[in-house]
């Protein structure tokens, strides 16, 4: 399965080359699409309308802050191509971004799709990495 990955501006545009090399030829980034400095709430409709799976380090705004505030900006979306969150207890330098993104790509290769789901790659302080995939809860109310 090939995904259309959109690399958020909080991550290196070098991740686009890694995505393309992994077979996701239609991947792109904020810089390449001319949407640098777009607010998160403006970016979501752009990404959803263009059928991209968003790759970001800014997980809280997009997927929510846990059980007390699930879903984030994606909770209001009826249908979307998925969200990939790269997070670490350490500063997100380019080497760490590439390594965590590689973990995400390995998991993506095993999935049929990521529709209405999040794939989260988290590096703990001890260097251990966990990868989880889950449904993004819908907004209530």
Task: Give me the tens of pLDDT residue by residue for the chain, a chain 141 residues long.
Answer: 899 999 999 999 999 999 999 999 999 999 999 999 999 999 999 999 999 999 999 887 888 775 555 668 888 899 999 999 999 999 999 999 999 999 999 999 999 999 999 999 999 999 999 999 988 877 665
CA distance linking residue 49 with residue 4, whole number of Å: 12
Tokens 């993506």 locate to: 108
pTM of the predicted model, to two decimals? 0.93
SS3 67: coil
pLDDT of 58 reads 86
pLDDT of 45 reads 95
What is the DSSP code (8-state) at residue 11?
A: S
């Amino acid at each position: 399965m090939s995904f259309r990955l959109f690399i958020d501006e909080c991550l290196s545009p070098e991740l686009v080359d890694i995505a393309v090399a992994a077979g996701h030829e239609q991947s792109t980034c904020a810089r390449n699409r001319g949407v640098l400095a777009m607010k998160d709430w403006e970016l979501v409709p752009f990404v959803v309308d263009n059928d991209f799976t968003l790759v970001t380090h800014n997980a809280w705004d997009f997927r929510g802050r846990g059980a007390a505030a699930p879903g984030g900006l994606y909770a209001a979306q009826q249908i979307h191509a998925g969200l990939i969150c790269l997070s670490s207890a350490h500063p997100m330098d380019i080497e760490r971004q590439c390594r965590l993104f590689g973990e995400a790509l390995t998991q993506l290769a095993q999935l049929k799709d990521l529709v209405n789901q999040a794939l989260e790659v988290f590096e703990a302080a001890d260097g251990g990495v966990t990868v989880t995939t889950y449904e993004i809860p819908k907004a209530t109310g």
